Structure 1
Amino acid sequence: MAAKEKSTEKNGFFIRFLNGIERVGNKLPDPFMIFVYLAIFVIIASYIFSLFDASVVHPGTGETLAIQNLLSWAGLQYIITSMLENFTGFAPLGTVLAVMLGIGLAEKVGLLEIAIRKTILKAPRGLVTYAIAFVGIMGNIASDAAQILIPPLAAMVFYKIGRHPLAGLAVGFASAGAGFTANLLIVGTDALLSGISTEAAAILNDQIIVTPADNWYFNIVSVFVLTVVAALVTEKIIEPKLGKYEGDMVIDVDSEEHPKANKGLRNAGLALLAYLAILSLLIFLPGSSLRNEEGGLIPSPLLTGIVPVILGMFIVLGVAYGKTVGAIKSSRDAVGFMADSIKDMSGFIVLIFAASQFIAYFTWTNIGTWVAVNGAELLTQINFTGIYLIIGYILFTSMLNFLISSGSAKWALEAPVFVPLFMQLGYHPAFTQMAYRIGDSSTNIVTPLNPYFIVVLSFLREYDKKAGMGTLISLMIPYTLSFLIVWIIMFMIFFYTGLQYGPGITPFL
């Protein structure tokens, strides 16, 4: 009895601690307002810097750059005349919206959901856990939608085969949330983050371009490694902890499947093969402009222009499936679905308006260059410049998830500071971006500020009426710790062996 009371006391303290984090996080302003306040902070900081005639020597050109004052007449003119250009010229905006036209079409016609359902349900019983983990990690093709679609489907599958449904829900949410950054394909997240990285790198060198493919190789390996890790955590830790399910919930797993879903998947697969065949023909034809001058693909116009290729692929898939199941009867229907997907991105568009102004001000004032150069010199002086600095940065980002849950918002905050800072130490922006992605993804599933955390909690309560936030947190912590540790080990292996993180991308510039 004493041990049980002690355990309850510990759990109560831990839950109070998590609730305290939630209260603090909920008191933070909306991310849009955070960027507004940061822009105001940069304006004030530029004035203070100018009072001391602060300047910095640009490491690339040797030019002495004065900190420009945004409260001067020239600064006021810049604020007014650049506002629209800062917004419309912000790299991630067009890239993400273009990608989401295709992915949104495929999601709206039901292709992504049925593909997830079929992949999980058709897996051999001994491989079900691995199948769910794999599909969950790959689910970020549908962006955040995967965190809503996959957990309840995974719970239903586990229930159907006589296993604890909460274990299925756990591996579904963990793989879709904590494994969010990994994928075998180049998806919207890659386009979004690489655009922000390119903007941040331009603070020091506007010739460096981070493409959506620059973390691809590491992400491919991550898919298979994390699939195994998620499955092992589920079967060795989560299921023994949960024991036998004794609830009385009754579920009809196959009730919502479209009668032409199988035919739709077949036609979508055939359309994909045709699309890839045409793309391959265009790539390998003699004199193809999609290859570089030496005839290679790394780097090449194909990789630089990968976003239109991805857009075209998802449009082909969505149209083939939609026409088959009757969701698309005319071009007007397809356009309507794409319009709906852009409506879903309205929050992102509003956020980018504020973020783009902050980053533009940060760049124009030269404060970013000043911070990067002086920060790099400080780290060099204290001899803290190696891989352990990067690991420290990963852990810092993972903890920041408890205050800011939006991955794009966090990277828009961090990139203008850390990308130039690590460039000064010789690290490639895509390498820094990969470190960020590891820290950001790992703790997605344990922060109550994640909007999908509450959604999944409601799914959990359908199976266990007494379950609370602490229940879900306790289920997710083993995944978070395992993913973070394994990812850091992988990161160090790539670092020390010289393996490329993406096409032509090594840690150093």
Structure 2
Amino acid sequence: MSAKSSEAKKSRMSGFLNVIEKVGNKLPDPFMLFVYLAVTVIVFSWIISLFDVTFTVPGAEEEVAIKSLLTGEGLQYILTSMLENFVGFAPLGIVLAMMLGIGLADKVGLLETAIKSTILKAPASLITYAVVFTGILGNIASDAAFVIIPPLAAMVFYNVGRHPLAGLAAGFAGVGSGFTANLMITGTDALLSGISTEVMQTIDPDIVVTPVDNWYFMIVSVVFLSIAGAVVTEKLVEPRLGKYEGKVKKEFEAVTSLEKRGFRNAVIVGLAYIALIVLVIFLPNSPLTNDQGGIVPSPFLDGIVPLILIWFIAIGIAYGVTVKKIESSRAIGKYMGEAMKDMSGFIVLIFAAAQFIAYFEWTNMGSWIAVSGANFLESLGFTGLAAVIGFVLLTAVLNLFIFSGSAQWALEAPIFLKMFYFLGYEPAFIQASYRIADSSTNIITPMNPYIIIVLAFMQEYDKKAGLGTLIALMLPYSIVFLGIWIILLLGFALLGIPFGPGVGVYL
């Protein structure tokens, strides 16, 4: 390919993304956008209900109808659920709790010192790879990674003279589009394999899909996605952003001897805390393990967010006391309060977003869209690997409407696991196919509640940034990650590489 042809393709891609950004930024302010979306759900739920639309959720016997919010029952739901939708919105509690710990560590200066002492000293050529790699592995901390990785990645890029939004994008891509991959077995493996096993045992009680059945595939995925994410950042996203000329000042000064001592003490406390948790896990009848003594699933994984919160508080206090920023217990609450002030805009946005998502679920519109799409693909009657790729593409689209990976798999598994099983496919292979699609489009769907948080982080560096800016920034990652994963899936299938211990493509 000639250099001129390559430049022309880059120009066309840049123009395409510029159009997406321009159109997207014409959308209303995010708060009002979710208000309008909620109103849209209310109106469409009424219109669809007029046609008596019903569907059957796989695994259930009773038909489900689209419920209208413009009825007495619907009005009662809107009024009585409004506060519960807000305070019961799971990401709200996760984010605010995590920010108590992260905010404390940030306000006392620990995060800045940690970055200066570690990542900033890495070779410049490896920083992008390190950011994407860290983001992918971040899913061990579940959804907390959405709050931790992107802003730190932006700070890293800013302090090495690169565009902070490129760092934020690389971190968000790793966390969001790479969410299902990891070098370790995580809660996602246990959750999805549990659903798969439950579905398949309705056919044969001896069929079991274990948490390690996709492990080999996910390990290889981490490597390829880390490389792909770094290449997209450096060859496409960062050149399009150009030089950062914002007025935000987040430069790091040189680390002082006192800060070095504080960082050392924080590391010691952090390692001691981890050692304590490991010790408790290996105790006989440990309260952190399951009945069989394992950690997948277990109270340890269920409580990972509180455990991380306590870890951040512990290392934040250790650092703050050393550098004399915490000289009394009142200082701890003060710094946490300052961190919460920074979250005020997010809290306002979440109020509107929570209503929209709750209405979408209550009316059954999300399930209807997912089931209808799944039934359509099933009716096509594909029997080869082309059918699997069609399933992957459909799932990627459905993920734009249903963010919860477990909820979507619970809807799709009873149809597709059984359908492909009767075609001779290994259930764990179909589960892996689902996972790559469900993960890839996490970063471009408005149904992802964490996209609001990332947008708030983005607006710290670019006040004019809107949803269009964010989606245009993330779309290349989503497309490339999905493409890489489809190639990997076909490569494993055609070369006969096991997806996990003893797991191939066919039964």
Question: Which deviates more from structure 2 when the two are superposed, residues 176-185 or residues 283-292?
Answer: 176-185
CA distance in 2 between counterparts of 1:220 and 1:37 reads 41
Q: Evaluate the alpha carbon distance shift between residue 38 and residue 47 of structure 1 in structure 2; reply closer, same or farther with a 3 A threshold.
A: same
Alpha-carbon distance between aligned partners in 2 of 1:101 and 1:481, rounded to the nearest angstrom: 35
**Does 2:255 correspond to 1:260?**
no
Counterpart Cα distance in 2 of 1:185 and 1:381: 31
Q: Is the 8 A contact 2:58 2:415 kept in 1?
A: no
Q: Contact conserved, 1:68 with 1:365, CA < 8 A, in 2? A: yes
Give yes or no for the alignment of 1:438 onto 2:440: yes
Write out per-residue CA displacement over residues 68-89 of structure 1, whole angstroms, 9 at most, x where no aligned residue.
2211112111111111111111
The one of 174, 178, 188 aligned to 1:179: 174
Does the alignment pair 1:62 with 2:61?
Answer: yes
Number of residue-to-residue matches in the alignment? 428
Q: Do 2:105 and 2:316's aligned partners in 1 also have CA atoms closer than 8 Å?
A: yes
Q: 1:129 aligns with which of 125, 138, 141?
A: 125
Q: Distance in 1 between matches of 2:476 and 2:57?
A: 45
Q: How far did 1:262 drift?
A: 1.5
- The percentage of counterpart residues that share the same residue type is 43
Asked if residue 154 in structure 1 is aligned to residue 160 in structure 2, the reply is yes
Query: Does 2:386 align with 1:392?
Result: no
Where does 1:244-259 land on structure 2 (aligned, <5 Å)? 255-259=253-257
2 CA distance for matches of 1:368 and 1:482?
26
Please state whether the residue corresponding to 1:56 is helix, strand or coil.
strand
1:323 equivalent in structure 2: 321
Output the amino acid matched with 1:71.
L
Which residue number corresponds to residue 144 of structure 1? 150
1:107 counterpart SS class: helix
**Gaps in structure 2 of 5+ consecutive residues:** 136-144, 200-212, 240-250, 418-429, 446-453, 464-471
**Would the aligned equivalents of 1:292 and 1:301 in 2 still touch at CA under 8 Å?**
yes
Q: Quote the offset at 1:149 in angstroms.
A: 0.7
Contact 2:265 2:318 in 1 (8 A): yes
How far apart, CA to CA, are the structure 1 residues paired with 2:339 and 2:489?
34
The farther-off stretch of 24-33 and 168-177 is 168-177
One-letter amino acid of the structure 2 residue matched with residue 300 of structure 1: S
Question: CA offset at residue 142 of structure 1?
Answer: 3.0
1:424-450 alpha-carbon deviations (Å, 9 max, x no partner): 54479998576344345599xxxxx97
**How far has the Cα of 1:226 moved from its partner?**
4.7
Q: Say whether the 8 Å CA contact 1:372–1:420 is kept in structure 2.
A: no
Counterpart code for 1:84:
L
State whether residues 267 and 321 of structure 1, in contact with CA within 8 Å, keep that contact through their aligned partners in structure 2. Answer: yes
User: What is residue 243 of structure 2 aligned with on the other side?
Assistant: none
User: TM-score, normalized by length of structure 2?
Assistant: 0.67
Change (3 A) 1:328 1:95: same
Distance change in 2, residues 1:177/1:52 (3 Å) = closer
After superposition, residues 226-305 of structure 1 pair within 5 angstroms as: 226-228=225-227, 255-305=253-303
Alignment of 1:106-505 (within 5 A): 106-123=105-122, 127-131=123-127, 133-135=129-131, 137-138=133-134, 142-155=148-161, 175-181=170-176, 224-228=223-227, 255-383=253-381, 386-389=387-390, 391-392=392-393, 422-426=412-416, 435-440=437-442, 485-490=483-488, 497-499=498-500
Distance 1:373 1:394 in 2: 11
Partner of 2:279, secondary structure, is helix
Listed one character per residue, the Cα deviations across residues 220-277 of structure 1 (whole Å, up to 9, x for unaligned) are 7665555555677899x79xx9xxxxxxxxxxx9744343222122111110121012
